[in-house]
Amino acid sequence: MKCDVLTIFPDIFDSYLNESIIKRARANNLLDVTLFNIRDFSSDPHRTVDDSPFGGGAGMVFKPEPIFRAMDFLREDGEPRRVILLTPQGRPFSQSIAEDYSKEQKRFVFICGRYEGIDERVKTLADEEISIGDYVLTGGELAALVIIDAVTRLIPGALGDERSVEDESFSWGLLDYPHYTRPREFRGLSVPQVLVSGDHKEIDNWRRKEALKKTVKVRPDLIAKVKLTELDRRILSEIQALSDEEA
Ligand code: ADE
């Protein structure tokens, strides 16, 4: 993934991009992030990037000029780019969007809004407007980092062990099953017997069942979107029967 980030707080990105998997992905040229301070593209001596809203109201609005100038600068190299504007009004980010982005050959531009909003004309620069959830952050910087993180771990070679991503396709669309490591007994809590049985078919069945159970309980809305196998349907009716008994 190659991306340019337009922000008025480039320092926010420093620590996150310099740790762990993201740091290694950058070192291995799997991820390339270039940060641009929108203030550098302001045409006035005070490096102003915001102004009061037409029509009145509280707060300040991001001016269009510095962002347009920044985009003109980026486009000088002629490289095709996919421009993403981060706002709470955007299309909700999801794992399937992360997968789509991880296959993108074009360079991304993430425009991080701030203040009360962004001049509507900035939207003409963007291919897509994306939100990371139904809550309002103080700016788009965390949203850009969330997207960069979710996409990077899908790039082949970015995770130490490719099975981590394969495993997710096993439980695609469901919440994850429970994980355990040593010790087998810890403060009276033991690891489920099946996980130490060595029977991989049984382990797979158990994991699928636990993922289904957790999803039904916490995110029943997701079940409708999952491609269920015959075995899944059987497991789901068992879960339903159990919860009917408890009721
Ligand atoms: N900027 C502020 N809140 C946001 C959100 N939820 N998603 C993306 N960008 C944002």
Note the pLDDT of residue 171. Answer: 62
pLDDT tens digits along 4-53? 999 999 999 999 999 999 999 999 999 999 999 999 999 999 999 999 99
Place of tokens 């993108």: 104
pLDDT tens digits along 138-184? 999 999 999 999 999 999 999 987 777 766 765 679 999 999 999 99
Confidence (pTM): 0.94
pLDDT tens digits along 65-99? 999 999 999 999 999 999 999 999 999 999 999 99
Which residue's alpha carbon is nearest to atom 7 within ligand 1?
Answer: 131
Nearest-angstrom CA–CA distance, 86 and 139: 8
Q: How many domains does the chain have?
A: 2
Pocket of ligand 1 (CB under 6 A): 86-88, 113, 131-133, 135-137, 139-140, 143
Pocket test for ligand 1, best of 86, 129, 135 (most atoms within 8 A of CB): 86
Which residue's alpha carbon is nearest to atom 2 within ligand 1?
Answer: 137
> What domain range includes position 190?
185-246
Which residue's alpha carbon is nearest to atom 4 within ligand 1?
Answer: 88
pLDDT tens digits along 110-139? 999 987 899 999 999 999 999 999 999 999
Contact call for residues 147 and 108 (beta carbons, < 8 A) = no
Same domain? For 127 and 30 the reply is: yes
Q: Which of 101, 133, 152 is the last residue of a domain?
A: 152
**CATH assignment of the domain containing 225:** 1.10.1270.20
Strands of 93-192 (E only): list them: 107-112, 117-118, 128-131, 185-186, 189-190
Same domain? For 138 and 210 the reply is: no
